[in-house]
Structure 1
Amino acid sequence: MNSLIGSRTRGAGAKLHVAALVATGLFYTNPAFAADVIRIASPYQTTTLDPMRSAAAGNIETYGQLYSRLLRRNSDTGALEPGLAEKWGISPDGKTYTFHLRDANFSDGSPITAGDVAFSLERVRSDKKSAYPAPLGALESVTAADSKTVLVTLKSAFAPFLGNAEIWNMAIVSKADVDKRGEEAAFATVPVTSGPYEVKQWKPNERLILEPNPHYWRKGYPKSDSTVELIEVASPETRIAMLKAGEIDAVRAVPWTQIDELKAVDTVDIRLEPSTTIYMTLLNHKRAPFSDLKARQAAGMAIDNKAMAKAITRGYAEPANTTLPGSVDFHDKDYPGIPYDPAKAKELLAESGMVGHEVKILAAADAPSQQTALLIQAQWQAIGLKPVIVNVDSGAWWDATGKGDYDAAANWWYNETPDPDLAVRWAVCGSCGSNSYNTFYANPKVDELVEQGTKEAEPVKRAEIYKEIQKITTEEVAQIPLYYAPNAVAYSKRLQGLKLTPSLQWTLEETSIGQ
């Protein structure tokens, strides 16, 4: 998955002047006034503190600070390391995982037990309100053998399981607290947490204020005892102005057009950090014109994704060659991709009988979405389609794509782990619950390969399986790959150790404030 991230990006909205924000008291006028506060501005909202209830961008940022998982991923090497589980074992048949928990406590001082782990994972797997149960789709059961031992039984051997156990919604919550306060109340304002931070104050639609969890299991972490503020600022112009003014310390989703300018600012460290993000164009396979293979191939060949990547990202992104993100394991970097061939595209469109067919292109309000939609519109017009851009907000976007009430929609999604299993399940698997990311693409052969990929333990053989998935889905234009983009993030140089990982988690517990 996870396009729930990309498609919930909020538009830039009105340009708010920093002086006006200062006048309202929303932000500090003197950086020294809050020198011990780490402030991060993001276009993404925190809408819930319950880690199983949402897969939206702002919530994923938040979950990573509030909740620990069984395993953690080293932010420098990317390797899986012990988390709440200090060690684990796997049965010879690959179906049973035994996790041994370390001594650890929740933010209220109560012990974290195997019962809490079983409760938390079962909520994600089976609760009707779970936003993203796919990572636990292979589970048969999860039980507490004793207070410190968790037994996870799988339906069959499943190679990606350990990586999935580290994903953001595998967060461990307090069963006792949920039982006592009720599910809604337990996560309404100040939840009991298991991660490096706890909630000091939540102001929905404005900011989430965090403070270090004194009972966090990683001794000596967070490295700084500073308060952290996750601030929602929709306008990219305002976020950049605030960073330059020293009013915030980090900005996610820096506009491509601002990168070169920020490189010249002495107090700012601008980074293009690794990501598993792919920008692509969804095509609705349920109805004409893109229910027809030749029409889809024509649409793909009409798009010059090399020129598009250069125009939109100023050359900072790499043109995409397959339907999978370029940085996931087993990405086929040698696959030639969909060729840019307008003449052949015209021929294929004529053969499909779809010349002159109207195409509704959904577009969000942010500048990259608008620019992408306009470029697609121009290139599809050139081969004989009649593309019409339909501007929608986030809610309407999801409603339309979920119902199949659209023809095309440019968007992005990322993969939570280096393993490609979740990516293919999200984007190109017709039987995995996502409708192939609302494209309704379905190929039984691909679905069969998806399952084979999880059961094959040998890396060379797995690579061949995912290579074939990429070949089939790109040739059949399940989606149109556009480009692979890094995470563009800008930081105040007063911070050390902060970065945004490929799984969209801030390394706040590793962060300290310089002198």
Structure 2
Amino acid sequence: MRKLSKLVLAASVALGVATMGMSAAAHAEALVRIASPYPATTLDPSRSAAAGNIETFGQLYARVLHRNTETGELEPGLAEKWELSDDRLTYTLHLREAKFSDGSPITADDVVFSFERVRSDPQSALPSTFGAVESFTVTDPKTVVVKLKNPLVSQLGQFEMWNAGIVSKTDVEKRGEQAFADVPVTSGPYAVKEWKPGEKLVLAPNANYWRTGYPKLDATVELVEVAEPETAAAMLKSGEVDVMREVEWSQAADLAATEGLDMRMEDSHVIYTILLNNSRAPFSDMKARQAAAYALDKKAITGIVTTGLANPANTVLPSGLDYHDKDYAAFAPDMEKAKQLITESGMAGKEVKIPVTAGQATQQIALFMQAQLEAIGLKPVIVNVDVATWWSDTATAAYDATPTWWTNELTDPDTAVRWAICGACDSHAFNTFYNNDRVNKLTEEGSRETDEVKRAEIYREIARIATDEVAQIPLFDAPFAVAYSTRLKNLKLTPAMQWTLEDMTIEE
């Protein structure tokens, strides 16, 4: 659910076909290349929430449940069946016969080991995936019992999260975590053929994947890091790559008109937003935050930045999530109201540090921010930073406001609230340091409530409170802009930022 990180590793790593447990036939007869500005910086599924890594984890690691990419429903994965106790506190997972890419069996020990790395390891990027879990227990080589501290309605979905992929306990312990992270034994549809950090990750079909007949296409897949959208578009047009991830809004019309290309606006749970640092002036004052919300004309920003391809957001939660209140009235542009609130807040004349990363959308939004915040009496200063500095600045509260985006892999809003709004949860409300006791209490109530009507009202109240108090300034709900070669069939990027590569075929 997260923004990208570009901590580029120095070394290049490769894995032989024999190590991957692949036959000679797995040397692909076809090649598919995907260009993305989001790099893979680690192949360890528990260690990063960066966009490029999330996309990669879905290809390398199978989960105990599998999401049907057509219906969105959860289906058996490595667990061929499961039961939930009457008190909703105990899940029993029954594993199928399955193997890792090196041919070793996937056992309950591997599942518990993988889950514990997410839940309790200090290096875990998102421990809240299993935050409600009291214990994981192996009862036999193919059975895992998961006991919860309290009922969690979204728990089944959490078993399918990107960081819940199953890794080999034996491999990690034998070779060490760094060696594993560089050249992993995998459980998903693909294994690593070659990795050149900062350049490309090359995948080949995993002959031991549990889904018989998948991947459908015997092809090598290259995930190519291309930072500049102009370069990626030129490579796509020339046939040097087959897919372009993160098409700039201004490029969409041209690519849509190019023969042999399929330009799509795919469903996502992405929301572009402005983070406000609630922990220091000026935005520690609610009136100053509300002034900023009145000053920023999100409809105008959306229209210009996205060329009309996205929709203005009306709450701090993405519109694609369950229980979204589409009728809620958001802040309408009102410069006079904004000036009045700044005066009342006593924050007029305060400097606003705005760190901004490269990228057409964030750069454009920052310029809007600068102009409109200056017009109400603040002193905005744009500071161009790299992604690592952006993360450092926001995590340590060394900023005042910044444009960014985030997403939620599930349609259930629980994880979104815990990531972006709940001050008592994982990420300091996505580094805004917003903290409302009522929201924190509702977060826990919403996660346990099974009545759909009551649950809907809880999440609508959370969204109303956080929007009114300006935990963030929501700007627009954005689809994934992806361009494909028309020769590729059954390939898409899902709202969970997962490529459907195992379903892909090629039309010659």
With normalisation by structure 1, the TM-score equals 0.93
2:379 alignment partner in structure 1: 386
1:478 alignment partner in structure 2: 471
1:3 partnered with 2:2:
yes
2:94 alignment partner in structure 1: 100
Q: Secondary structure at the match of 1:448?
A: helix
1:61 alignment partner in structure 2: 55
2:283 alignment partner in structure 1: 290
1:167 alignment partner in structure 2: 161
1:437 alignment partner in structure 2: 430
Of residues 70, 81, 85, the one that matches 2:75 is 81
- Over the residues paired in the alignment, what is the CA RMSD in angstroms? 1.2
Note closer, same or farther for the CA distance 1:113–1:171 as it changes in structure 2 (3 Å cut): same
Residues 126 and 426 in structure 2, CA contact (< 8 A), matched pair in contact too: no
Separation in 2 of the partners of 1:4 and 1:130? 16
Residue by residue over 1:412-468, the C-alpha shift from the partner in whole angstroms, topping out at 9 and shown as x without a partner, is: 000011110111111111110211111111111100000000110111111000000
Separation in 1 of the partners of 2:191 and 2:153? 33
CA drift of 1:9 comes to 7.1
1:122 partnered with 2:120:
no
1:22 alignment partner in structure 2: none
Of residues 445, 454, 464, the one that matches 1:452 is 445
CA drift of 1:179 comes to 2.0
1:188 alignment partner in structure 2: 182
Counterpart AA for 2:458: I
Separation in 1 of the partners of 2:175 and 2:50? 25
Separation in 2 of the partners of 1:58 and 1:81? 25
Counterpart AA for 1:69: R
1:343 partnered with 2:336:
yes
1:90 partnered with 2:89:
no
Q: Secondary structure at the match of 1:480?
A: strand
Separation in 2 of the partners of 1:163 and 1:338? 33
- Between the aligned residues of both structures, percent identity stands at 60
Q: Secondary structure at the match of 2:410?
A: coil
1:72 partnered with 2:71:
no
Of residues 224, 228, 236, the one that matches 1:243 is 236
Residues 9 and 43 in structure 1, CA contact (< 8 A), matched pair in contact too: no
Counterpart AA for 2:49: A
Structure 2, unpaired ranges of 5+: 8-27
Separation in 2 of the partners of 1:357 and 1:175? 53
Residue by residue over 1:297-330, the C-alpha shift from the partner in whole angstroms, topping out at 9 and shown as x without a partner, is: 0000001101110000001111010010110111
Of residues 108, 129, 133, the one that matches 1:139 is 133
Structure 1, unpaired ranges of 5+: 11-33
Separation in 1 of the partners of 2:426 and 2:91? 25
Residues 359 and 387 in structure 1, CA contact (< 8 A), matched pair in contact too: yes
Q: Secondary structure at the match of 2:336?
A: helix
Q: May I ask how many residue pairs the two structures share in their alignment? A: 488
CA drift of 1:165 comes to 0.8
Q: Secondary structure at the match of 2:203?
A: strand
Separation in 2 of the partners of 1:156 and 1:295? 38
With normalisation by structure 2, the TM-score equals 0.95
Separation in 2 of the partners of 1:325 and 1:453? 17
Separation in 1 of the partners of 2:248 and 2:349? 35
Of residues 337, 361, 371, the one that matches 2:354 is 361
Q: Secondary structure at the match of 1:106?
A: coil
Separation in 2 of the partners of 1:87 and 1:338? 47
CA drift of 1:503 comes to 0.6
1:210 partnered with 2:203:
yes
Separation in 2 of the partners of 1:120 and 1:267? 42
Moved over 3 A (4+): none
1:489 partnered with 2:482:
yes
